[in-house]
Structure 1
Amino acid sequence: MVTTGETSAGPRRSAARQLLSVLAVLVLGALVGGALTGLTVGVVLKDVALFCLGLGGLVAAALLVVVPARLRRRRQAVPVPRVALARIEYRRATHGEFADVPVRFDLTVAPDDAPAYRVYVHEQVNLVDLADYPEGRIVVVTYAESQPGGVELDRRPTEEWARRAADARIDTAPEHTRVKSEGAGWSGCAALLLGVLGGAALALLPYWGELGERFDDTSSSSSGPAVTSTVAPGASGGTTTVTTVTGSASSASALRPGEMRRLADTLVTGMDTELGTRITIEEKAMSAVGSKGPATGGGLPMSLRALPYELLPGLVETARTGLGIDHPETWRIDIAPGGGGPAPVVRVTVSGGGRSAYLLADAVGRITERHPG
């Protein structure tokens, strides 16, 4: 006769091992996700150090998989087989297309030297033999000593074990002793997926802004600003070219670092000259009056490439906050040569609520006059 106890140290140890296994899969997934993200971001941003870091992460993940597996195989090269009796608590057969059908058994396994425990077992059973496994029957099972969840029915037990099974009585083990069958299962797959996504997110977060700027630049450059030009004769025999560069609705604001310089380069290319007598900059557009030949009626020419575009966003911010316009809606920059020569004078105008104000600055961004609204 075999009876069961209320506690089971073996199943508890198995549950602890399964929890550690899930945590290990979670860490491994995070490492793989972070490494793959590092490789991808490194290629996109052309960051060699980040690419090498991602490659190193993949190598580390491979070592974490291969080395423990080999050590396990060495320790368990010859698994110790165990034989025990088990009680069929419940069985469920599903319909199949062949003579053998999959059957799910709910067993109470009662080892000779350990407390009994519950486990689910999946077996292929011939329809003819299905009647030999009724609920409540005592059967012989086998499993590896280190894997109590990997239970299999012994279809041809020895005479001794068959006799013990015929004479034994096994009490049903409580549900809290249940041991999961071997295999990664849904918990392992979910842990791996969660780890990969979490690792990818953690690796991507520090580079999110830089990636956004990179893709914004790519989008802006792919669409390209629209350039329109109008050529008219100048007052002194030269020609005057009015060229406008207009960005699309998705283009970056001209106040974004580097954007004014990019628009100016496009403007100069469209004008086919870098000399101009006036330039106007707004949120999504830049226009200039170009000059080929001697000075025209518009004033002395100045070099459009030499203008202090990097200083202009700061002047716009000062005008927005320091000229008394509470809610500025629009801004505009006008640059023209000063009265005493080609040195540019910068005028920044802001408007909002039916009011406007402006400030004047020199070529180095120094504010010379303020005219509050």
Structure 2
Amino acid sequence: MTITAGAPPRLGTPARLVVAFLTGGVIGTSLAAFVCGCVLQKVPLVVAGLALPTGYALLFFLCGLPRRARERAVAPRTALAVIERREAVGGESSDVPVRFELSVVPDDAPAFRVEFRQDVNLVELPDYRPRGIVVVQYRPDRPWKTRIVKRPTPEWEERAAVARLDSVPGPAMNGDPVESGAGDLLFLLGLLLGAAAVVLLLRADLFDADDKAAPPTPSVSSSSSTTTTTTMTSATGTVTLGPSQSMLDRGQLRAAVESLTQAADKRRALTVVVQDRTLTVVFSPTTVRTSGFDLTSLPYDRVPALVENARTTLDVPAPRNWQLTADGLTGAITLRVVVTGGGHAGTLEADGRGKVLRRDGS
């Protein structure tokens, strides 16, 4: 088998763009339907807002079954490799993500150069020094999915101890897709069109509800240094941060939620949606009996770690966008982190304490 260095084969550009547009449309439609259902107190709309992304994720999973079956049918191979370069790219725990560049020399196939990222324990990091020989496993059909074997068999460990390997010339393979703004633009377009379609279909009911109820004047607060904007209505609260801020900054998410709970007199919430610079809270209607949940019970300190976990462990190439949703309609709080990038999407689910329960797309 001939291995050609360079970018790996990926889903065709038209298909990736279509998936990005559909994903944005589903998220925009479901979020708008859920919010409008809460405002209009229409249970079918609320259910549709929750069922639509679930059905889309299930369809996405089923469509990927043939591909995953083909991948499982290909057995990984073991080979020796020489470390050309290593670079720790972050991490605050004992396991840190490290970017490796290796020259892999299989016994029965052409050698190739590959670049990938793998978590390594801080204690074991000195064992992976440049020009060191390691044992790796790779997929013949996708050599860019190479991984270092941390505990090789005695036979391979002995071979690695005495081997002398030369560097492989040329560029390194990398599974990350080429950055392109077209997918992100279509994702945003689908998000806006999906939300706009729902609002236009329900505009009569929404405007009637606004006429019958005297909505409070939206309160907007801003400062010259942070340019944080807080908007409150009868059913929702939104906090938008300035361009130099992020909800993942230490204490930022908790402060944003507290600004809404003070304005809403500590009302219970139906759902919370967090993006990089936006927080949206849908409050429990005062006229409908519903369980909801206390906003102070959310694990705010765990949110940055959950987002980073989703970015690094889900099989989403070049993750660019993320969204965390917390809801407690069934009683227990559930956290879902959706990461998108390169026409792919993955979901990480955690409980109300921030403990990861499952991953979809890893």
TM-score range, shorter chain: 0.3 to 0.5
**For the pair shown, which has the larger CA radius of gyration, 1 or 2?**
1
Q: TM-score of the superposition, structure 1-length normalised? A: 0.41
Q: TM-score of the superposition, structure 2-length normalised? A: 0.42
